[in-house]
């Protein structure tokens, strides 16, 4: 019964969310009142098949990470978020856990900046939100599971989105692992942090070496020029500003190009091409 009520509630709340509210285009004929199932799945970073099984009450109990992702994508209020967790058979994470919640005030800020590619990470560098411009530029909507963790991508996986020299990559790896170490110290009782560290150690000798060195990140500039090699547009030079929301332990990265520049034109074209690909 709880699984059915959870799914029915998600479906009702999906129907009330207008696509333009979450930055999706309204073009084309739509049968769905609100978000299509595939749109909500993409926003939450889960498969359409899994969302279908959740809505139909056929899936096992969703993880807290999935519930949080659905709450964000559905733009739930704080009481609604708590209810969704209860319907999933869980309690909403407390202060002793790494939060993946984006409060309404921060969401309003993200909406105002939505013309730029934006990505939001939690305190352990799990990707928890993107906008359509970032997905069009990077293909992030296809990332699943641990692929959505920034430490994994930079140390274990395919590498960063931006083009870096070997020295720059080493510096970025050290900074990310050091930041993760500080997060682990702030949340000593969060089992998900321990599991992530154990998995990264298992997969990567480089991560284990950096972790065991106990090095902490040096103070770094939160604004940095980055270059992205786009397969159709070519190299795009972008300013990347990282905004830290201290109270909620979030990291927001905003990419922008100087107005009127060649990079701005390339970015606009990359977003158009990427958006067409996502919609196709």
CA-wise closest residue to 129 among 153, 154, 101, 108: 101
Predicted pLDDT at 166: 93
Predicted pLDDT at 279: 55
**Neighbouring residues of 78: CB distance < 8 A, sequence distance ≥ 6:** none
Predicted pLDDT at 100: 87
| DSSP code for 155 | I
Interatomic CA distance for residues 242 and 223, integer angstroms: 6
Domain boundaries in the chain?
Answer: 2-87, 104-174+217-279
Interatomic CA distance for residues 251 and 213, integer angstroms: 24
Q: From first to last of its 280 residues, what are the pLDDT tens digits of the chain?
A: 566 899 999 999 999 988 877 777 666 666 667 898 998 998 888 889 999 999 998 887 898 889 988 998 899 988 898 899 999 988 887 777 898 888 888 888 888 888 899 999 999 999 998 888 898 899 888 888 899 999 999 999 999 999 999 999 999 999 999 999 999 999 998 999 999 999 999 999 999 999 998 777 665 555 588 999 998 999 999 999 999 998 889 999 999 999 999 999 999 999 988 876 655 5
- Whether the Cβ atoms of residue 100 and residue 69 lie closer than 8 Å to each other: yes
Predicted pLDDT at 201: 96
Interatomic CA distance for residues 193 and 200, integer angstroms: 11
CATH number of this structure's domain 104-174+217-279, picked from the four choices 3.30.450.180, 3.40.50.720, 3.30.43.10, 3.90.45.10: 3.30.450.180
Predicted pLDDT at 30: 64
Tell me the CATH number for domain 2-87.
Answer: 1.10.260.40
* Predicted structure pTM score: 0.78
CA-wise closest residue to 180 among 136, 211, 138: 211
- Whether the Cβ atoms of residue 252 and residue 242 lie closer than 8 Å to each other: yes
For the stretch 112-169, pLDDT in tens is: 888 899 999 999 999 998 888 898 899 888 888 899 999 999 999 999 999 999 999 9
Predicted pLDDT at 185: 92
Predicted pLDDT at 162: 92
Q: Token digits for 252? A: 């927001």
């Amino acid at each position: 019964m709880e699984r059915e009520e959870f799914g029915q509630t998600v479906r009702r709340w999906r129907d009330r969310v207008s696509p333009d509210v979450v930055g999706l285009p309204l073009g084309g004929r739509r049968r769905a009142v609100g978000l299509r199932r595939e749109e909500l799945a993409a926003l939450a970073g889960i498969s359409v098949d899994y969302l279908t099984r959740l809505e139909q009450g056929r899936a096992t109990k969703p993880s807290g990470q999935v519930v949080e992702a659905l709450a964000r994508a559905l733009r739930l209020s704080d009481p609604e978020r708590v209810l969704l967790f209860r319907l999933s058979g869980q309690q909403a994470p407390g202060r002793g856990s790494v939060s993946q919640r984006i409060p309404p005030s921060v969401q309003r800020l993200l909406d105002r900046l939505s013309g730029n590619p934006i990505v939001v990470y939690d305190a352990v560098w799990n990707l928890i939100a993107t906008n359509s411009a970032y997905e069009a530029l990077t293909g992030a909507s296809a990332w699943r599971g641990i692929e959505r963790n920034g430490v994994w991508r930079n140390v274990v996986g395919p590498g960063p989105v931006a083009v870096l020299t070997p020295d720059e990559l080493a510096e970025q790896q050290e900074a990310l692992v050091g930041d993760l170490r500080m997060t682990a110290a702030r949340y000593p009782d969060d089992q998900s942090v321990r599991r992530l560290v154990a998995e990264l150690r298992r997969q990567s000798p480089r991560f284990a070496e950096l972790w065991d060195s106990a090095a902490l990140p040096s103070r770094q500039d939160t604004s940095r020029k980055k270059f992205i090699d786009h397969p159709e547009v070519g190299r795009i030079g972008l300013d990347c500003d990282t905004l830290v929301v201290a109270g909620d332990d979030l990291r927001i990265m905003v990419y922008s190009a100087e107005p009127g520049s060649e990079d701005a034109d390339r970015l606009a074209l990359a977003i158009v091409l990427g958006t067409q690909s996502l919609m196709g």
